[in-house]
Amino acid sequence: MGIIMEYTKPPLTFGAQADLLLSRGLQADKAVLVSRLQAVNYYRLSAYLYPFRHESSDNFRENTTLALVWKHYTFDRQLRILVMDSIERIEVAVRTKLAYYFSHRHGAFSYLNKVFFPKLKVEDHKRWLDEMKIEIERSKETFIKHFQTKYGDCHDLPPLWMLCEVMSFGKMLTFLTASMMTYAVL
């Protein structure tokens, strides 16, 4: 088994966190450092401080400034925003094309028919549909509520173009990989 060690470090105030970083050689105005720590958790910021540490200790290399570390943090944050924006645009485009081409080729409710999912076992298709029902029940989207009110007596699930807007990305990938959808249209 190994040695059992209990974590006993107490939580530190923002001021104490700043003092600790300053004592390790980080060059910063304490008030600015405290402000940054209040906005960004100590451990999130420590990931950006880590490359500036000496290999043999927790102390920082000479000329390690908060300004330099903050530039790394803000660059990473801005890059993450750009990447997430691009991913969101791709996801919306895939959802749009999936709903459009599949429903035009096979029908608005064709996803209910296992025949269009040759790569899924019957029980997996049923499980996917059950999970779609959960997504619909959980949805707070106005168009879903309207559909349920107007057509819920006849349909447990909405047409594909509505379903595509509330299904998780993972469920959409399952749809794509298991269906007869040709990837050339995407």
44-71 average pLDDT score: 95
In a domain, 112, yes or no: yes
Claim to verify: residue 114 and residue 177 sit in the same structural domain: yes
148-176 average pLDDT score: 94
Two tokens, residue 139: 């949805």
Claim to verify: residue 56 and residue 85 sit in the same structural domain: no
Domain of 127? 81-185
pTM over 0.85? The answer is: no
Claim to verify: residue 26 and residue 115 sit in the same structural domain: no
Helix axes 42-49, 30-39, angle to 10 degrees: 110
CA distances from 58 to 8, 19, 22, 44, 180 (A): 19, 14, 11, 16, 56
Claim to verify: residue 56 and residue 86 sit in the same structural domain: no
Give residue-wise pLDDT tens across range 104-139.
999 999 999 999 998 899 999 999 999 999 999 999
Number of domains the chain contains: 2
The answer on pLDDT for 182 being more than 70 is: no
Claim to verify: residue 131 and residue 49 sit in the same structural domain: no
Is residue 154 helix, strand or coil?
coil
What is the structure's pLDDT at 184?
46
In a domain, 125, yes or no: yes
In a domain, 74, yes or no: no
Mean pLDDT taken over the chain: 93
In a domain, 72, yes or no: no
Claim to verify: residue 90 and residue 39 sit in the same structural domain: no
What is the structure's pLDDT at 134?
95
What is the structure's pLDDT at 160?
97
In a domain, 75, yes or no: no
Two tokens, residue 128: 């996917």
Tokens 């094309």 belong to 97
